[in-house]
Amino acid sequence: MEILDSVKFRAAAKQELSGAYLFFGEEEYLKHSCLEIARKSVLGDNIGDSFNHIRLDEENFSCDALENAIISLPVFSDKKLVEIHSINLNSMKEKEIEELCSTLSMTEDNPETVLILYAAPFELDAGDARRPSKLLTSLARVLIPVGFEKQSREKLVKWVISHFNHNKVACSKDMALLLLDTCGHDMYALSGEIEKLCAYILQDKRNELSAADISLLATKNKEIGEYDFSNAILQKNTEKAFYILSKYEMEDKSGKEVNLTLGSIIRIFTSLYKISLLDKKGMRDDEIAKELKMNSYQCSLYRKNLGRRTPEELERILLLCREADAQLKIGAQKGYVVLSKLIVGAAR
């Protein structure tokens, strides 16, 4: 099975994008980035066009609705884009997957339709490159799989340097490493820090990043606080969870950090869920770390924090996270209200 990465997908999108794709994996930043590229490739400046940009999610998804979306003709355009979001593929029965794949196969006879099935990390257990899951294998028969893995430190260094260069600011390898050590490895957070640093440097009529710039402006890594927050949710310690959340809200005057916080929570619980599944199989810490390509010490901490939580309990929390993410995307409620409801829901 050939699995495209973000680089190969971007190359395909530079040509005329066609066919049906499955976006999966843990690196949400690259996944979102490629989704935006696909939208631009298919729709041009008409993103959001209700006739040619069709989005299906848990609220309106059915195989009948998907079939209608695939076979309907684009309006005043050669192509249309169909997106599928917030569908928990892991929870679907085999017969439901067969029906889904049968419907998705209709894209072959409808070349004017470009389709992207966007799976969050906890919505699709893909296995790994050596042993892809049965679910991924089934979907790959009718969709082109595009995998988005967490980037290695070496790749992140190159990406950070390239991101600065794109903004006409020079960044050495040493400065890129310092930024990673200061801000962590989350690409969403790094992107925001880079934009902030570039604006400051260029306004100061300079064109090179310095250690002093990072010390002055870069936001220190919040991973410890996010682990504390996740652990409080995991342990049903609502008092502690609300205390940490209140600190986040006080520090986040603009309210823009809530998406990053939820994204981090989802990544942590996705890792906990995967570890719990392998732990249930009787695998040791070192075996789990190797299987998931994690740092062995980090893996042991995750496993220690699991306690007696079952994969089913963690899956329930991930479903609550997905609901919270959907609420944030549609802007139905204030971000910190959504996270408060997540805390209460997870404690039940």
- Give the pLDDT band (50/70/90) at residue 225: low
CATH of region 6-148 = 3.40.50.300
Long-range contacts of 306-309 (CB under 8 A, 24+ apart): 306/234, 306/272, 306/275, 306/276, 306/279, 307/234, 307/235, 309/234, 309/272, 309/276
Positions of CATH 1.20.272.10 in the chain: 223-346
pLDDT digits (tens, 9 = 90+) for 47-85: 767 789 999 998 899 999 999 999 999 999 999 999 999
Q: Which residue intervals of the chain bear CATH 1.10.8.60? A: 153-217
Confidence of residue 333 (pLDDT cuts 50, 70, 90): low
Fold that domain 153-217 belongs to in CATH? Helicase, Ruva Protein; domain 3 (1.10.8)
Q: What does the pLDDT average to over 291-315?
A: 80
The predicted pLDDT at position 207 comes to 96
Predicted pLDDT of residue 188: 84
Higher pLDDT, 348 or 48: 348
The pLDDT value given to residue 156: 93
Pairing of strands 19-25, 113-118: parallel
Q: How confident is the model at residue 222 (pLDDT cuts 50, 70, 90)?
A: low
Strand 53-56: give its sheet, edge to edge.
Answer: 53-56, 80-84, 113-118, 19-25, 144-148
The yes-or-no verdict on residue 224 having pLDDT over 60 is: no
pLDDT tens across 185-200, in order? 888 889 989 999 999 9
Compute the average pLDDT of residues 196-213: 96
Binned at pLDDT 50, 70 and 90, residue 173 comes out as very high
Mean pLDDT, the chain, whole residue set: 89
pLDDT at residue 245, rounded to an integer:
83
pLDDT band at residue 221 using 50, 70 and 90 as cut-offs: low
Size of the chain in residues = 348
Domain 223-346, CATH 1.20.272.10 — does that match? yes
Distance (Å, rounded) from C-alpha 172 to C-alpha 106?
A: 49
Greater model confidence, 298 or 104: 104
pLDDT over 90, % of the chain? 53
Lowest average pLDDT, out of 138-147, 156-165, 249-258, 330-339, goes to: 249-258
For the chain, percent of residues with pLDDT exceeding 70: 95
Residue 84 near residue 57 (C-beta atoms within 8 A): yes
Secondary-structure percent of the chain, ordered helix, strand, coil, rounded to 5: 60, 10, 30
Q: Please state whether the predicted TM-score (pTM) of the whole model is above 0.85.
A: no
Kindly report, as residue ranges, where domains of CATH 3.40.50.300 are found in the chain. 6-148
pLDDT one-digit tens code per residue, 337-347: 899 999 999 98
User: Could you give the angle at the alpha carbon of 33 between the alpha carbons of 153 and 13, nearest 5°?
Assistant: 110
Least confident interval from 26-30, 114-118, 259-263: 259-263
> Which whole number is the average pLDDT over 32-46?
92
